[in-house]
Amino acid sequence: MVQVAGAGHDQPMPLKLLIVDDSELIHTSLRGLTADIPGIAAVQTAASLTQAIKSVRSDPPDLVILDLHLPDGISLDIIPSLEKLAPGVRIAVLTNDAHACNRVKSLAAGARWFFDKSTEFSQLLDVVRQQAALRLPNHPRTP
Protein backbone atom coordinates (compact mmCIF):
# COMPACT_ATOMS: atom_id res chain seq x y z
CA MET A 1 0.00 0.00 0.00
CA VAL A 2 1.29 3.46 -0.88
CA GLN A 3 1.17 6.12 1.80
CA VAL A 4 0.62 9.81 1.36
CA ALA A 5 3.29 11.82 3.18
CA GLY A 6 1.90 13.29 6.35
CA ALA A 7 -1.30 11.29 6.23
CA GLY A 8 -2.36 9.31 9.22
CA HIS A 9 -3.47 6.33 7.18
CA ASP A 10 -2.86 4.56 3.92
CA GLN A 11 -4.16 6.44 0.90
CA PRO A 12 -3.96 5.18 -2.66
CA MET A 13 -1.96 7.34 -5.04
CA PRO A 14 -3.46 8.00 -8.49
CA LEU A 15 -2.08 5.89 -11.35
CA LYS A 16 0.72 7.27 -13.51
CA LEU A 17 0.58 5.84 -17.03
CA LEU A 18 3.37 5.85 -19.63
CA ILE A 19 2.53 5.06 -23.27
CA VAL A 20 5.60 4.01 -25.28
CA ASP A 21 4.80 3.85 -28.99
CA ASP A 22 6.19 5.56 -32.08
CA SER A 23 2.69 6.14 -33.44
CA GLU A 24 1.21 9.57 -32.70
CA LEU A 25 -2.20 8.03 -33.47
CA ILE A 26 -1.75 5.51 -30.63
CA HIS A 27 -0.62 8.28 -28.25
CA THR A 28 -3.61 10.43 -29.15
CA SER A 29 -6.09 7.55 -29.03
CA LEU A 30 -4.92 6.22 -25.68
CA ARG A 31 -4.72 9.68 -24.13
CA GLY A 32 -8.29 10.36 -25.23
CA LEU A 33 -9.61 6.98 -24.13
CA THR A 34 -7.94 7.19 -20.71
CA ALA A 35 -8.64 10.88 -20.01
CA ASP A 36 -11.89 10.25 -18.14
CA ILE A 37 -10.89 7.09 -16.28
CA PRO A 38 -11.11 7.74 -12.54
CA GLY A 39 -7.88 7.01 -10.69
CA ILE A 40 -5.44 8.12 -13.41
CA ALA A 41 -3.24 11.04 -12.37
CA ALA A 42 -1.09 11.51 -15.44
CA VAL A 43 -0.50 10.11 -18.90
CA GLN A 44 2.99 10.52 -20.34
CA THR A 45 4.18 9.40 -23.76
CA ALA A 46 7.46 8.31 -25.31
CA ALA A 47 8.21 7.42 -28.93
CA SER A 48 11.39 5.37 -28.42
CA LEU A 49 13.17 3.08 -25.97
CA THR A 50 15.58 5.91 -25.11
CA GLN A 51 12.71 8.29 -24.33
CA ALA A 52 10.99 5.57 -22.29
CA ILE A 53 14.06 5.01 -20.09
CA LYS A 54 14.48 8.77 -19.63
CA SER A 55 10.81 9.15 -18.68
CA VAL A 56 10.91 6.28 -16.19
CA ARG A 57 14.05 7.71 -14.58
CA SER A 58 12.54 11.17 -14.18
CA ASP A 59 9.00 10.19 -13.11
CA PRO A 60 8.49 6.45 -12.54
CA PRO A 61 5.10 5.28 -13.82
CA ASP A 62 2.86 2.65 -12.28
CA LEU A 63 1.76 1.21 -15.62
CA VAL A 64 3.58 1.17 -18.97
CA ILE A 65 1.91 0.40 -22.28
CA LEU A 66 4.80 -0.67 -24.48
CA ASP A 67 4.90 -1.21 -28.23
CA LEU A 68 7.05 -4.20 -29.15
CA HIS A 69 8.93 -2.59 -32.05
CA LEU A 70 10.30 0.93 -31.71
CA PRO A 71 12.71 2.92 -33.92
CA ASP A 72 15.67 2.27 -31.61
CA GLY A 73 15.06 -1.39 -30.80
CA ILE A 74 12.81 -4.14 -29.50
CA SER A 75 11.04 -3.45 -26.23
CA LEU A 76 11.81 -6.89 -24.85
CA ASP A 77 15.33 -5.60 -24.26
CA ILE A 78 14.25 -2.86 -21.82
CA ILE A 79 11.53 -4.57 -19.78
CA PRO A 80 14.01 -5.72 -17.08
CA SER A 81 15.54 -2.22 -16.99
CA LEU A 82 12.13 -0.62 -16.54
CA GLU A 83 11.42 -2.95 -13.65
CA LYS A 84 14.73 -2.03 -11.98
CA LEU A 85 14.16 1.70 -12.47
CA ALA A 86 10.57 1.58 -11.24
CA PRO A 87 10.08 -1.33 -8.84
CA GLY A 88 6.48 -2.49 -8.93
CA VAL A 89 5.81 -1.10 -12.41
CA ARG A 90 3.36 -3.14 -14.43
CA ILE A 91 3.94 -3.53 -18.13
CA ALA A 92 1.45 -4.24 -20.91
CA VAL A 93 2.84 -4.93 -24.38
CA LEU A 94 0.63 -3.61 -27.20
CA THR A 95 1.74 -4.63 -30.67
CA ASN A 96 0.78 -5.37 -34.26
CA ASP A 97 3.31 -8.24 -34.15
CA ALA A 98 1.22 -10.50 -31.92
CA HIS A 99 2.72 -13.86 -32.84
CA ALA A 100 2.60 -16.49 -30.10
CA CYS A 101 6.39 -16.46 -29.77
CA ASN A 102 6.34 -12.70 -29.06
CA ARG A 103 3.64 -13.20 -26.44
CA VAL A 104 5.74 -15.86 -24.70
CA LYS A 105 8.93 -13.77 -24.89
CA SER A 106 7.18 -10.64 -23.61
CA LEU A 107 5.64 -12.40 -20.64
CA ALA A 108 8.93 -14.18 -19.88
CA ALA A 109 10.75 -10.80 -19.95
CA GLY A 110 8.41 -9.46 -17.27
CA ALA A 111 5.37 -8.01 -19.02
CA ARG A 112 2.12 -8.83 -17.23
CA TRP A 113 -0.08 -8.51 -20.29
CA PHE A 114 0.28 -8.83 -24.06
CA PHE A 115 -2.27 -7.35 -26.47
CA ASP A 116 -2.73 -7.33 -30.23
CA LYS A 117 -3.38 -3.75 -31.41
CA SER A 118 -5.82 -4.89 -34.07
CA THR A 119 -7.98 -7.24 -31.99
CA GLU A 120 -7.36 -6.67 -28.25
CA PHE A 121 -7.41 -2.89 -27.80
CA SER A 122 -10.56 -3.00 -25.66
CA GLN A 123 -8.99 -5.64 -23.40
CA LEU A 124 -6.02 -3.30 -22.86
CA LEU A 125 -8.41 -0.53 -21.85
CA ASP A 126 -10.10 -2.92 -19.42
CA VAL A 127 -6.72 -3.53 -17.77
CA VAL A 128 -6.04 0.23 -17.57
CA ARG A 129 -9.46 0.77 -15.96
CA GLN A 130 -8.83 -2.07 -13.53
CA GLN A 131 -5.38 -0.79 -12.55
CA ALA A 132 -6.71 2.77 -12.11
CA ALA A 133 -9.65 1.54 -10.03
CA LEU A 134 -7.20 -0.06 -7.61
CA ARG A 135 -5.95 3.49 -6.92
CA LEU A 136 -9.32 4.90 -5.95
CA PRO A 137 -10.11 5.58 -2.27
CA ASN A 138 -12.21 2.87 -0.63
CA HIS A 139 -11.45 0.33 -3.36
CA PRO A 140 -11.18 -3.14 -1.85
CA ARG A 141 -7.61 -4.34 -2.13
CA THR A 142 -6.04 -7.69 -1.65
CA PRO A 143 -2.71 -7.85 0.20
66-89 confidence digits (pLDDT tens): 999 999 999 998 999 999 999 999
- For residue 77, give Cα distances in angstroms to 12, 48, 106: 31, 12, 10
Q: Where are the domains of the chain?
A: 19-133
Fold of 19-133: Rossmann fold (3.40.50)
Q: Is the dihedral of CA 94, 68, 34, 132 positive or negative?
A: positive
29-67 confidence digits (pLDDT tens): 999 999 889 999 899 999 999 999 999 999 999 999 999
CA dist., res. 5 & res. 11, Å (int):
9
